Chains A and B, each alone.
Chain A
Amino acid sequence: MITKTIMCPHCKNKVTIQGNPGEKTYIICPKCNTKGVFTFPEEKSELKTTTTSFTIEVDGLTKIYKDVTAVNDLSFNIRTGEIFGLLGPNGAGKTTAIKAILSLIHVNSGKIKINGFDIKKDGIEARKSVGYLPERVAFYDNLTPLQTLNFFCELRGDDKSVAKPLISEVGLEEAIDRKVGTFSKGMVQLLGVAQVMIGNPPVYILDEPMAGLDARWVKTIREKIKMLNEQGATVLFSSHILTEVENLCDRVAIIDKGKLIAEDTVANLNKYLKIKPRLEISIPGLNGKIPEEIKGLKGVEAVDAKDDTLFVTCESSVRSRVIATLEEAGLKIDNIKTIEPSLEEAFVKLISQDKGGA
């Protein structure tokens, strides 16, 4: 989602609009009522989609625990330099897939490669380039954060001088001499984030990094993930917080009952799921009443009104007709916002389709 501030060519009034790269949006200047169409530029996503090398390749992964199939013939590829979200309801197989990628579990079948190294044959080489933050991170109660990071620096064969700056970077400098056993969950998670950054690995695997944390820690971790990606790192990010995945990830894979049910960008998922965007139209004096003219309009899926805002779910091609119909009905439009379908809507639709199909 891109946010742009544009200037009305007639009255020079500034209007802020939101939309996806390549999307056209209909604008009415709230000051002088001048109408126009703005096309959002194709952004860096264009650059990313042209990258064809894969950092993580998962092919036909199957893991069966006794009589439960945790992951069933799962395949996906993660492009170099992207943030890839792994989504799924509880018990979908996200953590199992991540553990398999790191060779923490023995799989029944399938091939996994990290940076071209087969995790089974060249596990050491493959793991050299990975920083991993597990869902349940824990360290050693009797060690200080500095001793903990020094240990992991040595284990990676990295210079121990990076430990102190990393502790400061995650905001734990005041607790540098305290034992980790006295830390809160959030502090342990932040130490986990510092641990992950040791040696500046090109690949990060983060399993529910924000689970159970308050807003302050979530913000810190989100910023760190963005920063790492901006520095060129590839990130595999598993989360049940859909808005976080939506805000952070370039592409997502949705898995349910161990199976891949979708893999694409959020925008594309919505496109092929035919989840329509929603218009939020400000009409002074509407008072929660839905205009009759709009109800039967072809291409309009749903209409709702609250106070002075009219909500219209419709296909993009019908938008201009909706505006025109409202104007013809004598309604004064103050502002129009296009709300793109959220990942949550796509996720719910996919999971319910999967359940229906099962």
Chain B
Amino acid sequence: MAGINPKAIYTIAKKEFMDNIRNKWIIVMTIIFIILAIASSYLAGRQAGGGEIFGGMEDTVVALMSIYTLLIPLIAILLGFSTIAGEAETGALYVVLSYPVKRVEVLLGKFLGLGSALAVTPLIGFGLSGVVIAATVGAEEGVAFLAFIALAIILGLMYLSLIICISALCKTRVRAIAGGIILFFWAMIYGMIVMAIYYATGGDFMKLMTGEGTYPDWLWSSVVFSPGDLNQMAVMQAFGLKQAMGISIEAPDWMSMNLLLVVQLVWIIVPLILAYFFFKRRDI
């Protein structure tokens, strides 16, 4: 976009990072991630038998699969819900916007700064456990594990973009957190809706579990409306997994990693554009 000052974006991003990296939620979640990842690896190692204390990287990721898609969105929502609605309420945003900065610069700075603070949790939490696993078990799936960390960050950025959009739309912090709660539960509600439609249209879940049946194409396509499912699909592709929790989930050829990444990028960009639209028109 013409006329955007990158220095202003950087300044705001740096401030957001410094302010939020000391946020107690970030610190608590990073510790939880370290414990969870190491515990998951340990449990995976016990389950696999053999002489190793920890399981391999793939086993660890499979064990973490359902938990990280809950915790990462939670961090993003906690970090971002008050960034516009809350700061407009307290008055912090008045001062910033009285300076020679554009609203688009403030918004991008906030996204990048909060995104960087958010990235710290999976980077340290999963990264540290990855180092432990690599040192004890081996780093055969090191690249895939790095991809997992990157995808965890992407998941966070999708939710961050969505919650910033909600924060820009809502007049008060209370409304923004209510929006955040709806967003958080969306993945679960959406999954139930999709499965209900699947049953209603004659789908047989038991056949899917045993590998006798395959998902219809529309069911695969429905994944694009759920950032969490989308992200899980990408992680499974990174590790070449064809099963999750005993359910066969071999994706069709058209659902490539590139497509999954592009759709996730759309989930980041579109809510940010909408956030700008709401923020620009907002009376502070």
Contact = CB atoms under 8 A, between A and B. Distances in A.
Contact of A130 (B14, B98, B281): B98
Contacts of A195: 95
A132 B15 contact: no
Given A99-B284, A143-B15, A127 B91 contact: no
Given A136-B90, A140-B19, A142-B18, A104 B98 contact: yes
A125 B94 CA distance: 17
A105 interface: yes
B283 A105 contact: yes
B183 interface: no
B147 interface: no
B18 A132 contact: no
Contacts of B283: 65, 99, 104-106
Nearest to B88: A104
Interface of A: 65, 99, 102-106, 124-125, 127-128, 130, 132, 134-143, 147, 151-152, 154-157, 192, 195, 205
Contacts of B15: 140, 143, 147, 151
B92 A139 contact: yes
Interface string B80-110: 0000000100111011111111100000000
B281 A137 contact: no
A152 B96 CA distance: 8
Given A105-B284, A142-B19, 15 more contacts: A102-B97, A124-B100, A124-B102, A125-B100, A132-B94, A132-B98, A134-B91, A135-B91, A136-B90, A138-B90, A143-B15, A147-B15, A154-B14, A155-B11, A157-B7
**Pairs of residues from A and B, 10 with the lowest C-beta to C-beta distance, nearest first:** A132-B98, A136-B91, A138-B90, A105-B283, A142-B22, A134-B94, A104-B284, A138-B91, A154-B11, A140-B19
Nearest to B281: A106
Contact of B100 (A105, A106, A128, A151): A128
Given A143-B19, A151-B11, A156 B91 contact: no
A155 B96 contact: yes
A236 to B, nearest CB: 12
A103 B99 CA distance: 11
A127 B96 CA distance: 11
B53 interface: no
A141 B11 contact: no
Contacts of A141: 19
Nearest to A128: B100
Given A105-B283, A124-B102, A155 B19 contact: no
A144 to B, nearest CB: 10
Contacts of A125: 100
Contacts of B99: 127, 152, 155-156
Interface string B3-20: 000011001101100111
A142 B19 CA distance: 5
A179 to B, nearest CB: 8
Contacts of A124: 100-102
A138 B92 contact: yes
B256 interface: no
Interface in B1-50: 7-8, 11-12, 14-15, 18-20, 22-23
Given A142-B23, A147-B18, A137 B95 contact: yes
A151 B106 CA distance: 13
A142 B91 contact: no
B91 A137 contact: yes
A152 B12 CA distance: 9
Nearest to A135: B91
A134 B95 contact: yes
A106 to B, nearest CB: 6
Nearest to B15: A151
Contact of A192 (B22, B95, B96, B101): B95
A256 B258 CA distance: 61
A105 B284 CA distance: 6
A99 B88 CA distance: 12
Given A136-B91, A138-B90, A156 B100 contact: yes
Given A136-B91, A147-B18, A104 B97 contact: yes
Nearest to A106: B283
B8 A143 contact: no
A140 B92 contact: yes
B89 to A, nearest CB: 9
A124 B3 CA distance: 11
Contact of A143 (B7, B18, B87): B18
A124 B8 CA distance: 12
